[in-house]
Structure 1
Amino acid sequence: MSTRTLAVVSAGLGVPSSTRLLADRLTTATVDALRERGVTATVEVVELRQHARDLADNLLTGFPDQALRGAVDTVVGADGLIAVTPIFSASYSGLFKTFFDVLDKDALTGKPVLLGATAGTARHSLALEHAMRPLFAYLRATAAPTAVFAASEDWAGGDAGSPALDARVRRAAGELADLVAGRPPTAPADPFADPTTSFEDLLRGNGG
């Protein structure tokens, strides 16, 4: 079996959070779908609430600290991405948007992405199409056709979710698995590629 890496970005604010719960459901279903396609998946989760201060500092300085750099590298280096946000005022959260603002504009080009969102009412479900999908289209990622929205009523029966939600999760996971399995593994980033300071300047002690 071949191996692929999935990065999971959850922008939930609470502990526990319905956003993380949906992210976990999507992840489990995608791992299962990849296994059916002969692919073993490793999963790395990025909880954005843990990087809120790091993101604010990055906006002010233009440079990520070590913790945020690790989160960025996880997402950029993954073969596929599951991105889930709570919906506030009919759009993705500010924390979610700030993280993707930090990425290089070409970092997600061609990367398979499964979009998910949560909110208290199904009235917010269109945010997936009028807000999240355009964001990832701008980043030139390859979004799975099915995006998954979960409102409070979808969890009324417990963490297992409603049958309708389960069907959406399985369909979206299968689509992401097809996209991920159909691409060659992402090559590890070369830390010495395209250095901002030449090696000659580094040797002279002019590293900026």
Structure 2
Amino acid sequence: MSTHRTLAVVSAGLSQPSSTRLLADRLAGATADELRAAGLEVDVEVVELREHAHAIMDAMLTGFPSGGLAEALQTVAEADALILVSPLFTTTYSGLFKSFVDIIDPDALTGKPVLLGATGGTPRHSLALDYSMRPLLTYLRTQVMPTVVFAATDDWAGQDESALPRRIARAGRELADAVAARPAGGGVDDPFGDTPDFADLLGR
């Protein structure tokens, strides 16, 4: 069994530097630390959506992603797990984040472990993770981790006293456990893998 795992980290932050990217890096670091502690090798590949904003719009219009965006989509599809982090605007994920998710092949995400994070101005926005982001990824048949992580502006001040580091550590541990339990490449055992195709049976 392979001991190598790949994490794809998608950050939808619009500024540079951004608190969204900072949260994404912290979540990736916590997950990678847990996987390495379990004896696994880890590659972390980051996709910054702001670098592909124009290409994402072009792909929405034409249906054909190209260049660096095509590589980013391949990274997401082939990863053993995803960490998705978006800023929240008007209590929901950003349009850039949603547009990127819309051009991902839905079948590429089936069963894939996903850790969700978001950033916003006040803790009042934190519920958006569960009533907007989680349903979106559940619809795509991903395995969304129980713990989601929201970071408000005040969470970055005095982190030793805040709950943010503890939430990051817990979320990273959950994702690492889910990844370690699966074979490399995100494959899962299909209990019906040997079942004949119904269309083939009708054609015989």
The two structures share one fold, judged by TM-score above 0.5: yes
15-24 vs 162-171, which moves further = 162-171
Alignment correspondent of 1:107: 108
| 1:117 counterpart letter in structure 2 | A
Q: Please give the alpha-carbon distance, in whole angstroms, between the structure 2 residues aligned to 1:115 and 1:59.
A: 23
1:116-148 per-position Cα deviation (integer Å, ceiling 9, x unaligned): 000011110000000000001001000111000
Number of residue pairs the alignment of both structures matches: 186
**Contact 1:81 1:114 (8 Å CA) reproduced:** yes
Cα 1:84–1:161 shift into 2, 3 Å: farther
Alignment correspondent of 1:135: 136
Alignment correspondent of 1:86: 87
1:2 aligns with 2:6: no
Q: How does 1:43-192 map to 2 (within 5 A)?
A: 43-157=44-158, 162-186=161-185
| 1:131 counterpart letter in structure 2 | S
Q: Please give the alpha-carbon distance, in whole angstroms, between the structure 2 residues aligned to 1:55 and 1:181.
A: 32
| Percent pairwise identity | 61
TM-score (norm 2): 0.88
Alignment correspondent of 1:20: 21
| 1:183 counterpart letter in structure 2 | R
Cα 1:185–1:44 shift into 2, 3 Å: same
**Contact 2:6 2:79 (8 Å CA) reproduced:** yes
22-31 vs 179-188, which moves further = 179-188
Cα drift, residue 39 of structure 1:
1.2
Q: Please give the alpha-carbon distance, in whole angstroms, between the structure 1 residues aligned to 2:59 and 2:46.
A: 20
1:56-94 per-position Cα deviation (integer Å, ceiling 9, x unaligned): 101111100111100000000000110000000110000
* Secondary structure, counterpart of 2:168 in structure 1: helix
Cα drift, residue 162 of structure 1:
4.9
Alignment correspondent of 1:32: 33
1:142-178 per-position Cα deviation (integer Å, ceiling 9, x unaligned): 0111000000010123xx5753100000000000000
Q: Please give the alpha-carbon distance, in whole angstroms, between the structure 2 residues aligned to 1:43 and 1:175.
A: 17
CA RMSD for the aligned pairs?
A: 1.4
Cα 1:119–1:107 shift into 2, 3 Å: same
Cα drift, residue 26 of structure 1:
0.4
**Contact 2:81 2:186 (8 Å CA) reproduced:** no
TM-score (norm 1): 0.86
* Secondary structure, counterpart of 2:6 in structure 1: strand
Q: Which runs of 4+ in 1 moved over 6 A?
A: none
| 1:68 counterpart letter in structure 2 | L
